């Protein structure tokens, strides 16, 4: 059925020759070739993937991959139409299509030669720039800088910034001292210009590899690094020794403080014991003093009361009574004309003599007999006035 339609569309209608005549096989072959060519043309326009400019120009149906947007040119002019990932249609041969990545991408800039401030040539083998084109700035960026915008603002800019950095720093700075700062410096330099001239380009990160330097200089750096390593090892060893000494010192101080604290506690304990003993003795002394004071006060009161009583007793009659009681216990009575070395109160003696006259005669006789037997006494009395001493 398709062959008959193609024959009606692409060739003039004619009747097949009679069976006995020749020439019928050539017409059928040309029809088959015509159908095959048409089918191949339709297939190339509809099915072939959009992988090249020629296929993009001829294809009608094209696919925008994920992470990209589709941009279009018509007659060389960039269209404002931006398509999202998926299948889309376009006019063949008139509209050209190109996918543009809007996710993170890494551009590698290789073999970047530069000369340092001292004139030494070095080479950076690879610098990686992680960047992203913002979707809302795709049209503006491609309008100003084309599809290969990264050549202008990444590849060429990296070469420029690396040469600027090397020319203002020595080999020591580039290779060792400030090498760790190159990443940030390159990132800041790229982002400043991109923000100013191509705001859709965002620089995420820059990774710079160690540059290649001449072998002779590299050996010198290696020797210098080896010596520096030895110095660092010596410094670290010295620090270890100092730390050990400091640790021992702290341990000794801690031990001394512990002993001092123990001694202080023991001393305080002894002082507390002494203080407790002192207080106990003070309490006992106070109790003893109070007791003795009470006894002394009692004795004093007793003596005072006795003195007051004796004062009331000291009458002539009481004194006579005590005198008589004192000499009444003496059972020896002496008689004589004279009492030697005897001084008596005249009043007492008179009273005594008055009493002695009242002594019975038989008592006086006994006293005389004892005196004749040779016994002596303390007093001497006349024979007429005997008395007992």
Residue 373 scores a pLDDT above 90: no
pLDDT at 109: 93
pLDDT at 233: 92
On the CB side of 87, how many CA atoms lie within 13 Å of its CA? 7
pLDDT at 331: 58
Query: Which residue has better confidence, 303 or 58?
Result: 303
Question: Residues, the chain, total?
Answer: 389
For residues 331-341, average pLDDT: 55
Pairing outcome for strands 121-133 and 68-74: unpaired
pLDDT at 171: 87
Query: Which residue has better confidence, 127 or 369?
Result: 127
For residues 247-254, average pLDDT: 91
**What confidence tier does 351 reach under pLDDT thresholds 50, 70, 90?**
low
SS3 label, residue 38? helix
- Please report which residue ranges of the chain form alpha helices under DSSP H: 2-10, 24-46, 53-58, 138-145, 149-150, 156-167, 171-172, 182-197, 215-313, 316-328, 346-356, 361-372
**What confidence tier does 225 reach under pLDDT thresholds 50, 70, 90?**
confident
For residues 63-88, average pLDDT: 92
**What confidence tier does 163 reach under pLDDT thresholds 50, 70, 90?**
very high
Pairing outcome for strands 387-388 and 61-64: unpaired
Q: Would you say 100 and 69 are in contact if contact means Cβ atoms under 8 Å apart?
A: yes
Residue 367 scores a pLDDT above 50: no
On the CB side of 371, how many CA atoms lie within 13 Å of its CA? 22
Task: Give tens-digit pLDDT for 5-61.
Answer: 334 434 444 444 444 444 444 456 777 776 765 665 555 544 444 444 455 666 788
**What confidence tier does 388 reach under pLDDT thresholds 50, 70, 90?**
very low
Task: Give tens-digit pLDDT for 228-249.
Answer: 888 989 999 999 999 999 999 9
**What confidence tier does 213 reach under pLDDT thresholds 50, 70, 90?**
confident
Residue 359 scores a pLDDT above 80: no
């Amino acid at each position: 059925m398709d062959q008959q339609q193609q024959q009606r569309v692409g060739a003039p209608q004619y009747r097949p020759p009679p069976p006995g005549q020749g020439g019928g096989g050539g017409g059928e072959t040309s029809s088959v070739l015509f159908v095959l060519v048409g089918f191949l043309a339709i297939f190339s326009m509809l099915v072939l993937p959009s992988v090249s400019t020629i296929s993009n120009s001829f294809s009608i149906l094209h696919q925008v991959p994920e992470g990209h947007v589709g941009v279009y040119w018509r007659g060389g002019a960039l269209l404002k139409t931006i398509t999202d990932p998926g299948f889309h249609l376009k006019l063949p041969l008139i509209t050209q299509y190109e996918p543009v990545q809007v996710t993170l991408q890494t551009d590698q800039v290789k073999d970047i030669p530069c000369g340092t401030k001292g004139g030494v040539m070095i080479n950076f083998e690879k610098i990686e720039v992680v960047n992203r084109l913002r979707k809302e700035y795709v049209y503006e960026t491609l309008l100003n800088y084309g599809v290969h915008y990264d050549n202008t603002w990444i590849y060429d800019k990296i070469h420029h910034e690396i040469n600027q950095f090397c020319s203002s720093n020595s080999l020591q700075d580039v290779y060792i001292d400030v090498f760790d700062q190159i990443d940030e410096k390159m990132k800041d330099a790229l982002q400043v210009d991109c923000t100013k001239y191509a705001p859709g380009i965002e620089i995420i990160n820059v990774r710079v590899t160690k540059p290649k330097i001449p072998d002779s200089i590299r050996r010198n750096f290696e020797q210098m690094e080896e010596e520096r390593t030895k110095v660092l090892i010596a410094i670290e060893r010295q620090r270890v020794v100092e730390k050990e000494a400091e640790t021992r010192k702290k341990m000794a101080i801690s031990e001394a403080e512990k002993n001092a604290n123990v001694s202080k506690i023991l001393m305080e304990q002894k002082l507390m014991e002494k203080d407790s003993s002192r207080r106990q003795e003070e309490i006992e002394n106070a109790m003893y003093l109070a007791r003795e004071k009470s006894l002394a006060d009692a004795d004093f009161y007793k003596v005072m009361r006795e003195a007051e009583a004796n004062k009331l007793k000291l009458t002539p009659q009481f004194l006579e009574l005590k005198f008589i009681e004192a000499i009444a216990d003496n059972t020896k009575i002496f008689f004589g004309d004279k009492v030697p070395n005897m001084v008596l109160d005249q009043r007492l003696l008179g009273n005594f003599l008055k009493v002695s006259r009242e002594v019975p005669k038989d008592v006086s006789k006994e006293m005389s007999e004892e005196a004749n037997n040779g016994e002596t006494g303390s007093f001497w009395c006349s024979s007429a006035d005997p008395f007992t001493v």
